[in-house]
């Protein structure tokens, strides 16, 4: 199963961490899962979503940026929009699976203890409205918020990428400005039946654009900062601070040692609008990671790094598969057993399936390339490119 | 046709409800709640005053569907009534009254708006505010949810009542479709900042599920599970009130 990984000047660390992020997102999406205690959201402010969005921005810029240079603005924009369309289709497919599960629950589950919780089925009473709202990305069931965010980010990406290539500082500045204005004026997109997007695209674009900026030379510009011991020290200190604060959420009694003024200052830590504390936590994680995991780290080519890397290289497919598997895992826990051994079993099995499917996709892509290779000059690698942006 | 069946069901339920405490006594051990989930540093000052000075205690439960049980026996077996029974048992010298004001399909904002009326009508020493379920289902804006909680708690404090916040039920079957987590976090933060106790029903029921005290995955129309869970919740809140209002001495004195 150990296929050699693709190495066309691509930074394997991106695939590695995106693969790990996909696993963590899968684990976090299985409710009542003990294994999810091991995921990073329990040890600091940020979670796998930040990694996923940042790496997606980075790879999108890396791949489409190269294409924009070689084939021009319109062709690369068309590819970006086609990618957005693919993600939309994937989202609708997942929604269909979600509808199937919820309809099953509606007919099979009756427990007087949970009469109130059964209100979630209300939306089945007016499918005319709900399904249209879902197609408009306004009705988004729990755990299905990331792909709509991704779609919006890609739709807006062509002009941003263009600007990043010519005036990168201006593009990053505009992104920061939009983030700040979003916080000042509470901008967000509306949701159905109420409220707003769970991942506010106007705020989360900062992480995506920052990733893109890093890919297009920003990382080199930051290298002196990244290599400074002072930066590392600040990052480590901040990670420790976040860890201690997070502990107070889970260890009863510790909370009283957090001074009141600090609580006033940091809470609430807003995930919807990508709280600055979360963004800083991601940056600190990135600084520490870059420090200890160099680009040419030999372990990146080892058999141990292969499973997450291969998942990271097929992120859209594996992301969708992960969402589907988390539904399936929950279903198995409800129908068979919710015991601890079952939680470990479905978690482990899910990751094995994700790796297996990713390996299959790699094999298939190679086979396709081999047969197509003689006929045409190779375009941008679908996987590196849109494929996995 | 339906009437005889309903009557038979009612009779059955009544029979179940009337069973001597033996069945519940066995449960008592099973649904034990670890102390760290029940006892904290936040105090119920009005409650201790009312109990120690006037020997009476009026509690109002403001909540939604999960504070109610259906069926003819519902009102007697839902946790507000079980709380009243537990408090009367443990504080025999106190005139305890628990009023249930639960109504289904209400968000935190709906309930917060009604707090003035609750104060005026019932003059409670303590309000147990159960909320968050419909907010999580409808995915109400977190900021709006938080603002509603703060408004409600501040109204009650201004009106001279103590408050206990109670979060959602642990519902493993619907968990993939509703994520109560962020709403439970918000409630914890609001409780911390206003220094009021939080009855963490989510964690407590999760604990019962993990320890096997109750099979909360079970499906079926059977009322017995619901009644037992509500009885345990009622007794849990009673323990929380007695601890947070420092009523242990009253308790032991009454027992002597």
Q: Chain-wide mean pLDDT for chain B?
A: 85
Give the pLDDT score at B222. Answer: 79
CB A99 within 8 A of CB A120: no
Interchain contact, A338 vs B217, CB within 8 Å:
yes
Pick A114's closest partner by Cβ from B64, B169, B192. Answer: B169
> Would you place residue B54 in the very low, low, confident or very high pLDDT band (cuts 50, 70, 90)?
very high
Q: Which residues are within 8 A (CB) of A69 and not within 5 positions of it... i.e. 6 or more apart?
A: A165
State the average pLDDT over residues B178-205.
Answer: 92
pLDDT at residue B36 is higher than 70:
yes
Interchain contact, A119 vs B221, CB within 8 Å:
no
pLDDT at residue B204 is higher than 60:
yes
Interchain contact, B173 vs A268, CB within 8 Å:
no
Nearest Cα residue in chain B from A190: B141
For residues A202 and A263, give the distance between their C-alpha atoms in angstroms, rounded to a whole number: 26
Alpha carbon separation from B1 to A25, B5, B7, B11, B155 (Å, rounded): 53, 7, 11, 16, 50
Which residues of chain A neighbour B139 with C-beta distances below 8 Å? 142, 191, 194-195, 198
Most B CBs within 10 Å: which of A95, A113, A257, as the mutation test of the B interface? A113
Count CA within 13 A, CB hemisphere, residue B229: 29
Interchain contact, A114 vs B137, CB within 8 Å:
no
Give the pLDDT score at B31. Answer: 82
Which residues of chain B neighbour A273 with C-beta distances below 8 Å? none
Give the pLDDT score at B176. Answer: 82
For residues B64 and A110, give the distance between their C-alpha atoms in angstroms, rounded to a whole number: 18
Nearest Cα residue in chain A from B221: A111
Query: Per the domain annotation, does B76 fall within a domain?
Result: yes
Alpha carbon separation from A36 to A188, A350, B67, B153, B256 (Å, rounded): 29, 13, 30, 33, 49
> Would you place residue B2 in the very low, low, confident or very high pLDDT band (cuts 50, 70, 90)?
very low
Nearest Cα residue in chain A from B140: A195
Q: B221 to chain A nearest CA, in Å? A: 5
Note which residues in 332-361 of chain A have CB less than 8 A from chain B.
Answer: 333-334, 338
Query: Per the domain annotation, does B16 fall within a domain?
Result: no
Cis before residue A193, ω within 30 degrees of 0?
yes
Give the pLDDT score at A270. Answer: 86
Strands B95-100 and B56-62: parallel
Give the pLDDT score at A9. Answer: 65
Q: B92 to chain A nearest CA, in Å? A: 30
Q: How many angstroms separate the most distant Cα atoms in chain B?
A: 56
User: Exposed/middle/buried for B158, CB within 10 Å: 0-12, 13-18, 19+?
Assistant: exposed
Give the pLDDT score at B16. Answer: 44
- Bridge partners, B100 (sequence order): B61
Interchain contact, B169 vs A108, CB within 8 Å:
no
| pLDDT tens digits along A234-275 | 999 999 999 999 888 877 667 777 888 888 888 888 889 999
Count of C-beta atoms within a 10 Å radius of residue A365: 17
Interchain contact, B40 vs A114, CB within 8 Å:
no
SS3 call for A268: coil
What stretch of H or E contains A89? helix A73-108
Residue A265 contacts B where some CB pair is shorter than 8 Å: no
- Bridge partners, B96 (sequence order): B57
Interchain contact, A333 vs B172, CB within 8 Å:
yes
State the average pLDDT over residues B189-214.
Answer: 92
Give the pLDDT score at A382. Answer: 39
For residues A118 and A107, give the distance between their C-alpha atoms in angstroms, rounded to a whole number: 11
Give the structural domain span for B229: 35-247
User: Of the candidates A317, A303, A299, A300, which has an alpha carbon nearest to the alpha carbon of residue A360?
Assistant: A317
Query: Per the domain annotation, does B219 fall within a domain?
Result: yes
Residue labelled with tokens 């490119």? A385
Query: Per the domain annotation, does B45 fall within a domain?
Result: yes
Per-residue tokens: B108 = 């935190």
HEC per residue, A312-332: HCCHHHHHHHHHHHHHHHHHH
Residue labelled with tokens 């699976």? A97
Cβ–Cβ pairs < 8 A, chains A and B: 132
Q: B242 to chain A nearest CA, in Å? A: 19
Count CA within 13 A, CB hemisphere, residue A16: 21
Residue A263 contacts B where some CB pair is shorter than 8 Å: yes
> Would you place residue A38 in the very low, low, confident or very high pLDDT band (cuts 50, 70, 90)?
confident
Taking the C-alpha atoms of B173, B177, B182 and B188 in order, what is their torsion angle to the nearest 10 degrees?
-30
Give the residue, A33 or B12, on which the prediction is more confident.
A33
DSSP B86-110: HHHHH-TTSEEEEEE---SS--HHH
Residue A117 contacts B where some CB pair is shorter than 8 Å: yes
Which residues of chain A neighbour B176 with C-beta distances below 8 Å? 29, 31, 101, 142-143, 326-327, 330
pLDDT at residue A40 is higher than 80:
yes
The domain total for chain B is 1
Give the pLDDT score at B23. Answer: 46
- A37: DSSP letter: G
State the average pLDDT over residues A280-285.
Answer: 96
Interchain contact, B226 vs A113, CB within 8 Å:
yes
pLDDT at residue B248 is higher than 70:
no
Query: Per the domain annotation, does B208 fall within a domain?
Result: yes
For residues B218 and B208, give the distance between their C-alpha atoms in angstroms, rounded to a whole number: 13
For residues A152 and A150, give the distance between their C-alpha atoms in angstroms, rounded to a whole number: 6
- A385: DSSP letter: T
> Would you place residue B200 in the very low, low, confident or very high pLDDT band (cuts 50, 70, 90)?
very high
> Would you place residue B14 in the very low, low, confident or very high pLDDT band (cuts 50, 70, 90)?
very low
What is the domain-level CATH number for residue B105?
A: 3.40.50.1110
Residue A191 contacts B where some CB pair is shorter than 8 Å: yes
Q: Among A93-102, A197-206, B1-10, where is mean pLDDT lowest?
A: B1-10
Give the pLDDT score at A376. Answer: 53
pLDDT at residue B13 is higher than 60:
no
Nearest Cα residue in chain B from A196: B141
Note which residues in 66-95 of chain A have CB less than 8 A from chain B.
Answer: none
Give the pLDDT score at A374. Answer: 54
Q: Which residues are within 8 A (CB) of A337 and not within 5 positions of it... i.e. 6 or more apart?
A: none
Sign of CA dihedral B218, B220, B224, B229: positive
> Would you place residue A20 in the very low, low, confident or very high pLDDT band (cuts 50, 70, 90)?
very high
Interchain contact, A142 vs B189, CB within 8 Å:
no
Residue A141 contacts B where some CB pair is shorter than 8 Å: yes
Note which residues in 195-214 of chain A have CB less than 8 A from chain B.
Answer: 195-196, 198
Give the pLDDT score at A179. Answer: 97
pLDDT at residue A378 is higher than 70:
no
CB B128 within 8 A of CB B60: yes
pLDDT at residue B3 is higher than 50:
no
Q: Which residues are within 8 A (CB) of B102 and not within 5 positions of it... i.e. 6 or more apart?
A: B61, B62, B63, B64, B65, B67, B68, B78, B80, B130
Which residues of chain A neighbour B166 with C-beta distances below 8 Å? none
**pTM summary value:** 0.84
Question: What is the predicted ipTM?
Answer: 0.82
Q: H-type helices in chain B, by residue range?
A: 2-18, 22-30, 35-38, 45-49, 74-77, 79-90, 108-113, 115-122, 133-138, 142-158, 181-193, 201-211, 224-244, 248-255
Which residues of chain A neighbour B169 with C-beta distances below 8 Å? 113-114, 116-117
């Amino acid at each position: 199963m150990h296929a050699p990984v693709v190495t066309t000047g691509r930074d394997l660390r991106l695939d590695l961490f995106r693969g790990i992020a996909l696993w963590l997102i899968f684990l976090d999406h299985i409710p009542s899962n003990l294994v999810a205690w091991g995921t990073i959201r329990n040890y600091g402010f940020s979670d796998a979503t930040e990694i996923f969005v940042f790496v997606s921005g980075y790879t999108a810029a890396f791949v489409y940026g190269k294409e924009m240079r070689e084939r021009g603005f319109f062709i690369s924009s068309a590819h970006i929009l086609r990618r957005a369309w693919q993600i939309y289709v994937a989202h609708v497919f997942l929604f269909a699976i979600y509808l199937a599960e919820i309809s099953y629950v509606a007919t099979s589950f009756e427990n007087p203890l949970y009469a109130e919780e059964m209100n979630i089925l209300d939306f089945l009473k007016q499918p005319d409205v709900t399904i249209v709202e879902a197609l408009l990305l306004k009705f988004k069931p729990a755990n299905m918020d990331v792909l709509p965010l991704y779609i919006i980010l890609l739709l807006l990406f062509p002009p941003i990428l263009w600007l990043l290539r010519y005036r990168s500082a201006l593009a990053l500045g505009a992104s920061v400005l939009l983030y700040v204005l979003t916080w000042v004026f509470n901008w967000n997109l509306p949701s159905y039946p109420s409220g707003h997007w769970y991942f506010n695209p106007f705020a989360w674009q900062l992480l995506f654009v920052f990733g893109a900026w890093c890919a297009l030379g920003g990382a080199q510009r930051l290298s002196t900062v990244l290599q400074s011991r002072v930066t590392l020290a600040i990052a480590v200190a901040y990670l420790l601070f976040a860890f201690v604060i997070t502990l107070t959420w889970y260890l009863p009694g510790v909370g009283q040692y957090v001074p009141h003024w600090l609580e006033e200052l940091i809470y609430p830590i807003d995930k919807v609008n990508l709280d600055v504390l979360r963004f800083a936590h991601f940056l600190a994680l990135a600084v520490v990671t870059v420090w200890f995991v160099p680009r040419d780290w030999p372990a990146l080519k080892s058999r141990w790094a292969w499973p997450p890397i291969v998942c990271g290289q097929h992120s859209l497919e594996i992301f969708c598969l992960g969402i589907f598997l988390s539904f399936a895992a929950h279903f198995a826990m409800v129908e068979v057993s919710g015991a601890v051994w079952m939680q470990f079993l479905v978690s482990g099995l899910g990751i094995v399936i994700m790796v297996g499917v990713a390996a299959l996709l790699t094999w298939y892509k190679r086979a396709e390339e081999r047969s197509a290779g003689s006929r045409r000059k190779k375009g941008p690698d679908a996987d590196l490119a849109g494929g996995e942006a | 046709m339906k009437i005889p069946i309903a009557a038979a069901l009612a009779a059955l339920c009544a029979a179940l409800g009337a069973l001597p405490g033996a069945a519940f006594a066995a449960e008592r051990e099973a649904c034990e709640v670890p102390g760290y989930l029940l006892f904290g540093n936040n105090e119920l000052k009005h409650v201790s005053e009312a109990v120690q000075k006037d020997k009476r205690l009026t509690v109002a439960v403001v909540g939604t569907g999960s504070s109610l049980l259906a069926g003819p026996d519902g009102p007697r077996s839902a946790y507000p009534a079980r709380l009243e029974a537990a408090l009367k048992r443990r504080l025999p010298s106190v005139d305890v009254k628990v009023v249930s004001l639960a109504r289904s399909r209400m968000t935190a904002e709906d309930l917060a708006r009604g707090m003035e009326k609750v104060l005026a009508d019932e003059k409670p020493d303590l309000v147990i505010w159960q909320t968050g379920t419909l907010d999580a289902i409808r995915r109400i804006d977190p900021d709006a949810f938080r603002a509603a909680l703060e408004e409600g708690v501040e109204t009650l404090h201004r009106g001279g009542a103590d408050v206990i916040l109670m979060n959602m039920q642990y519902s493993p079957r619907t968990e993939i479709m509703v994520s109560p987590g962020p709403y439970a976090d918000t409630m914890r933060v609001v409780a911390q900042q206003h220094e009021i106790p939080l009855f963490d029903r989510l964690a407590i029921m999760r604990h019962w599920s993990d320890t096997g005290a109750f099979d909360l995955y079970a499906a079926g129309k059977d009322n017995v599970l619901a009644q037992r869970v509500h009885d345990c919740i009622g007794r849990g809140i009673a323990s929380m009130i007695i601890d947070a209002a420092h009523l242990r001495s009253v308790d032991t004195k009454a027992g002597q």
